Amino acid sequence: MASSLQQIGIKYTSAGKAGFITSCYIVIVPLIGIFMKKTSGWKIWAAVVLALAGLYCLCITDGFTVGKGDIFIFLCAMAFSAHILVIDYFSPRVNGVVLSCIQFFVCGVASLPCMFVFETPDMVAIIFAWMPILYAGVLSCGVAYTLQIIGQRNVNPTIASLILSLESCFSVLAGWVILHEKLSMKESLGCVLMFMAIILAQLPDKKASVD
């Protein structure tokens, strides 16, 4: 559902705004966590603020206005937040690989009717795009989501959302290294703020010394 909402929303908004609004799950997750009695310390909240500032530097180039597409993208962020919290609940209780397989099976079966209702499948186009489809299915979905489920077993969901938000940072850096895209000063600052946020969130708490 989250990916579908994102793809619908990006038709009506810019890629930068879509990336920024999607990554707002770094704020939504700890806010929902409060109602689920999953409190986060001051360092986590400070890291969230840093990461949000970094994402703004990375993703937003023009003025920020709210349109129809932005609403779809925000709903996508809500869905991703729910996904992170659901994984946080189930990952310590069940086998991660089995949970991942069930997740993909249910998603695939539920998506089939939507494909025939809202799309017009073209086998020629599907065969022509076999490589990106294979990459998206095996690596971007299969491997990535399985590793997320396994990794979240012993990780605070807010920290997990912060780490996942590095997707925006890595995409900019990959474009710079692989595609030779120019990295602006603002984007460089965004990357630095993102990495600072992750480091801050991972710093151990000082234990009070015992006399």
Return the pLDDT at 75: 92
User: What pLDDT does 209 receive?
Assistant: 42
Give the start-to-end residue ranges of the domains of the chain: 2-202
Structure tokens, 70:
């932005």
Q: Give residue 204's pLDDT.
A: 67
Name the packing angle between helices 68-90 and 157-164 (round to 10°): 130
Find where tokens 């809202």 sit: 118
pLDDT digits (tens), the chain, 211 positions = 888 888 888 888 777 677 777 888 888 888 888 787 777 778 788 888 888 888 788 777 666 666 788 888 889 989 998 999 999 889 888 898 899 999 889 988 988 888 888 888 788 888 998 998 898 888 878 898 899 999 888 888 888 888 888 877 787 777 788 878 777 888 788 888 888 887 887 776 665 444 4
pLDDT at 208: 41
Give the CB-side neighbour count of residue 49, counting CA atoms within 13 A. 5
In contact, 87 and 31? CB cutoff 8 Å = no
